[in-house]
Amino acid sequence: MRYAFYLGCATPVKALKYEISTRNLAKILGIELVDIPEFSCCGFPVKSMDSFAALLMAARNLAIAEEKGMDIIGVCTGCMAILSEAKEYLEDEKLRDKVNEKLKAIGAKEYTGRVKVKHFARFLYEDYRLDRIRDKIVTPLASLEFGIHYGCHYMKPTHAHGHFDDPSNPFTIDGLINITGAKTINYPNKNLCCGLTIMGTAEDISFRLAAEKLEYLSSRGVDAMVVACPSCCIAYENNQKLVGKRVGKEFNLPVLYFTQVIGLAMGLSEKDLGFEFNRIKADKITEKFK
């Protein structure tokens, strides 16, 4: 099981706990994540400036993975959506020829359409399969209750992602967390966007979006929010104080990555899961399972 590990831009700088926990979780699950230094930005930020440039950037990353003969596993939902969308666009042969011509000009290899792109959570759910994860659980997290935030780009646009999850009623990450013994709640604004993408252009709306979910989950008294994307984590954890200030409330809701939760159930240490980097300390959780 060797996969090209697509980190993206945010994870290696802003979400070290995500990277650390993913690498260590993969290690005990026996999944080899290979670092590819040639990978660049997926193209998401460029999409608002020039669609074709964005497509070229995505295609270049796909071509690199294809050349190495590995499918892509990523941890950022935004990157995965952009790469999957690009894959869908490039099913059109005419467009693919045109893109390949340009790729050649920048010295990249040709993209033929073979490489598969999957988010780590989707990979665990679809390919690794729940029963194999269950076998590796050593400390069931029975007493915990989480609210899961999927992140819009995790399963949308569904046509690009091959309809693997239901955007109105998502279930895959719930499945992964339930396997650890922890409970997950179904809550009304489960599908709400974190709003991070417009933080720079419409900050007020962005913060209000984040506040809604934080308010609800705080009032429900869940142990933590579970996320699967560095951007969502920035919106809910890094900005938690700011958001609180904006709506006149003080939040103290830990935000964990799904990899941290699964790793905890598999007996990985706090350090191996990067809990030290959690800004809202999750001591209540970690102490229980020391």
Of residues 102 and 116, the one with the C-beta less far from other proteins = 102
Contact between 46 and other proteins per CB under 8 A: yes
Site string for other proteins, 96-115 (x = CB under 8 A): ------x--xx---------
Contact between 191 and other proteins per CB under 8 A: yes
Element (H, E) at 118: strand 117-119
CB of 242 to other proteins, least distance (A): 17
**Quick one: CA dihedral 150, 167, 154, 195, positive or negative?**
negative
CB of 114 to other proteins, least distance (A): 22
Contact between 143 and other proteins per CB under 8 A: no
How far apart CA 221 and CA 215 sit, in angstroms, is 10
Residue span binding other proteins (CB under 8 A) among the ranges 53-61, 245-253, 255-263, 282-290? 53-61
Element (H, E) at 146: strand 145-148
Contact between 12 and other proteins per CB under 8 A: yes
Contact 56, 102 (CB under 8 A): yes
How far apart CA 263 and CA 286 sit, in angstroms, is 11
How far apart CA 285 and CA 290 sit, in angstroms, is 9
Pick from 80, 121, 153, 280: which binds other proteins (CB under 8 A)? Answer: 153
Residue span binding other proteins (CB under 8 A) among the ranges 138-146, 156-164, 172-180, 245-253? 156-164
Of residues 50 and 283, the one with the C-beta less far from other proteins = 50
Contact between 147 and other proteins per CB under 8 A: no
Pick from 7, 243, 255, 261: which binds other proteins (CB under 8 A)? Answer: 7
Pick from 3, 39, 120, 125: which binds other proteins (CB under 8 A)? Answer: 39
Burial class (CB in 10 A: 0-12, 13-18, 19+), 88: middle
Of residues 85 and 128, the one with the C-beta less far from other proteins = 85
Residue span binding other proteins (CB under 8 A) among the ranges 123-131, 164-172, 239-247, 255-263? 164-172
Torsion on CA atoms 95, 73, 238, 194, rounded to nearest 10: 50
Contact between 62 and other proteins per CB under 8 A: no
Contact 146, 176 (CB under 8 A): no
Geometric angle at alpha carbon 99, from 123 and 50, rounded to 5°: 85
